[in-house]
Structure 1
Amino acid sequence: MFEFTWPWVFLLAPLPWLLRQVLPIADSGEAALKVSFLPELEALAGRRARANLPAWRQQLPFAAIWLLLLLAAARPEWVGEPLPLQASGRDLLVAVDVSGSMEHPDMQWQGQDVSRLTLVKRLFSDFIEQRRGDRVGLILFGSQAYLQAPLTFDRHTVRTWLDEAVIGIAGKNTAVGDAIGLAVKRLRLRPADSRVLILITDGANTAGQIDPLTAARLAADAQVKIYTIGIGADPDAGVLGMLGLTPGLDLDEPSLKAIASSTGGQYFRARDAEELQAIREALDQLEPVAQQPTQARPAQALYCWPLALALLLSLALVGHELWPDLQQQRPNWLRRRP
């Protein structure tokens, strides 16, 4: 079906005529009577035929150019039949702790010691990429919580933002409550049955303005389901345990369990890569919830055609005006007939 995006543009059609009536006639400042030399008189003779045309016929090409420009400005387009779009899925936010403790290299990946954040990137980057049909967003939190990527179907961009996250980008402490509060703010306007937050942290709440359990109650009221993941090796395992360092003791498992339980979610504990992989596979079982179906109508823009015609007509008028002068300026030997 043919239609115009901005049909009101055609209201500007009488604008040139109105300007001609309102604006004063231009004064060239020269004498009305001009005496020309012979070559100029000969050039004028070549335009005599056009000068004898009625005024409306002389203005006809300019009116056509103006109408073609209006036609292009109105954005004509050919709109096809409505096509259904797949709009099922969840609105899923992934909140990742990037505080200083996530730098501890107590995790194993392919036989190498890696930091907790590195392991999260390796496993959850693929998790995000595979969430086809879901709107996915990313929150990074440390001393404060930031929305790194809003809810979007562009999973590749969200994955890139996660891969580029660095330790301490949001501060060295851990604001779990603020991260939940920010997620609730972003998810509460989405359909109630599709609001999911995956919270990944290795510590207890040590910063922020909102208590985690208070934020969890707000999430439950907003029907946001929270899956919490506590990451980090056991305190007595590995080299860090033998040296007397206990980074795993910072993990507040009771609070994370309470947050998940109060919102209808589940708490997971990831002590190594295998457990985190199993958690990712469990989260992959989240079934998409049907949302309101949407339709799209493919549209093909056609404004380039009247715009091209206006350009060609303008070039033709310029050539018609300059042709007599070019004829007079040609050398005599070019004007001679054989």
Structure 2
Amino acid sequence: MFETLHFADPWFLLALPLPFILSRLAQTTSPAGRALILPDRIGHALVAAEGRSVTGQGRLPLRVGLLTAIWVLLVLAIANPREVEPVSALRVSGRDLALVVDLSGSMVRDDFFLDGTAITRLDAVKKVGASFVRGRGGDRIALIVFGSEAYYASPFTFDVEAVARRIEEAVIGISGRATNISDGLGLALKRMSNSEAATRVVILLSDGVNNAGATNPRGVAELAARKGIRVHTIALGPKDLDTADEGELGVVDARTLSSISRISGGESFRVRTTDDLEAVATALDELEATDSDGLSAEVFREHWPWPAGGALILMLLFGWRQSA
């Protein structure tokens, strides 16, 4: 159990004989006949440690024992006993992956199906997206959602389970009901600007047409290309601008999304069904493989609170005995 137990600061153990040394000095006088002068409390304690009482002989063994134990426990605590915990190596891919997800009003349309039951577009994204994220161990993942505005739903983290839960908790309307693709992608690029990851990737999913914000999505894609950030796009919805009737609602601008990925060096995907979405998740796993070596690190279980706590208890007992 304690095979890896060691002291982080073993040099403090050299202080163990210090009370004995001070006690001897307290008894030694200089050639001029002058004794070493110490504060009364320290002098009493040191004399007691030598077996001679200043106030009485009856309590000497207990007092000496308590003072000795207190000192030993304090020194042990300061030396910081600890042991190495067995841990699994954390896989690190060297990739920062930002998911940018559309939460505009059209995501509430129930034109997707799961096991024969109609579900909303958002429910399809939740199911497939959360599963996709949980399989991305080793990536540092962030979640950005957008409607009329864009905001950070989850910062970059290796905790893929936490990001998956945020996807599952997403609701329509929290960022407005319009579709601001430019701001969603722009926020992802801003967060990635200071990233030192070897690979930086954005996965942008939208089911609509950019109808909010002052920036053209293609301009943001050009910025991504200059920064070396790949943007994969997913155009979600049964119909797009090229196939829908004029004025039909709930259609996706697949052409613009495709141009974003082409400009930035990514891939574009067209999703009309839940099966399509699952196939895209598989394809992205192949495009951005997560195989990597583990990053090892030592994790310690600290044991100093035990001797420190013991010393505190004994000090309270010593104080109580002194006042009794």
Query: TM over 0.5, yes or no?
Result: yes
Rounded Cα–Cα distance in structure 2 between residues aligned with 1:292 and 1:130: 16
Give yes or no for the alignment of 1:220 onto 2:225: yes
Rounded Cα–Cα distance in structure 2 between residues aligned with 1:176 and 1:170: 12
Counterpart in the other structure of 1:304 = 305
Q: Report the number of matched residues.
A: 284
Counterpart in the other structure of 2:132 = 127
Counterpart in the other structure of 1:277 = 278
**Contact 1:89 1:290 (8 Å CA) reproduced:** no
The C-alpha deviation readout for 1:56-107, integer Å capped at 9, x for no partner, is xx89956874774475367443458998643225322111100111112222
Matches within 5 A, 1:285-300: 285-288=286-289, 294-300=295-301
Rounded Cα–Cα distance in structure 2 between residues aligned with 1:209 and 1:64: 73
Rounded Cα–Cα distance in structure 2 between residues aligned with 1:187 and 1:4: 38
* 1:48 counterpart (56, 60, 73): 56
The C-alpha deviation readout for 1:106-128, integer Å capped at 9, x for no partner, is 22222222221111112211111
Name the CA shift for 1:268/1:85 in 2 (closer, same or farther; >3 Å). Answer: closer
**Contact 2:233 2:268 (8 Å CA) reproduced:** yes
Counterpart in the other structure of 2:113 = 108
Matches within 5 A, 1:39-78: 48-49=56-57, 65=70, 68-69=73-74, 72=77, 75-78=80-83
Rounded Cα–Cα distance in structure 1 between residues aligned with 2:135 and 2:88: 25
- 1:187, distance to aligned residue in structure 2 (A): 2.5
Counterpart in the other structure of 1:313 = 314
- 1:265, distance to aligned residue in structure 2 (A): 0.7
Counterpart in the other structure of 1:174 = 179
**Contact 2:74 2:307 (8 Å CA) reproduced:** yes
89-98 vs 309-318, which moves further: 309-318
Name the CA shift for 1:253/1:301 in 2 (closer, same or farther; >3 Å). Answer: same
User: Could you list the runs of 5+ residues in structure 2 that have no partner in the other structure?
Assistant: 19-37, 40-54
Rounded Cα–Cα distance in structure 2 between residues aligned with 1:224 and 1:203: 23
Give the partner amino acid of 2:267: Q
Give the partner amino acid of 1:117: L
Rounded Cα–Cα distance in structure 1 between residues aligned with 2:140 and 2:58: 65
Counterpart in the other structure of 2:93 = 88
Aligned CA RMSD, in angstroms, stands at: 3.9
Rounded Cα–Cα distance in structure 1 between residues aligned with 2:162 and 2:185: 22
Max Rg structure: 1
Identity of aligned residues (%): 36
Give the partner amino acid of 2:262: S
Counterpart in the other structure of 2:122 = 117
* 2:249 counterpart (241, 247, 250): 247
Counterpart in the other structure of 1:149 = 154
**Contact 2:240 2:253 (8 Å CA) reproduced:** no
- 1:248, distance to aligned residue in structure 2 (A): 4.1
**Contact 2:96 2:140 (8 Å CA) reproduced:** yes
- 1:133, distance to aligned residue in structure 2 (A): 2.2
User: Could you list the runs of 5+ residues in structure 1 that have no partner in the other structure?
Assistant: 14-19, 22-46, 326-338
**Contact 1:3 1:79 (8 Å CA) reproduced:** no
**TM-score, normalised on structure 2?**
0.72
The C-alpha deviation readout for 1:214-255, integer Å capped at 9, x for no partner, is 21112112211111111111269xxxx89x972244x22222
**Contact 1:89 1:289 (8 Å CA) reproduced:** no
Rounded Cα–Cα distance in structure 1 between residues aligned with 2:118 and 2:291: 42
Name the CA shift for 1:292/1:278 in 2 (closer, same or farther; >3 Å). Answer: closer
Rounded Cα–Cα distance in structure 2 between residues aligned with 1:282 and 1:167: 27
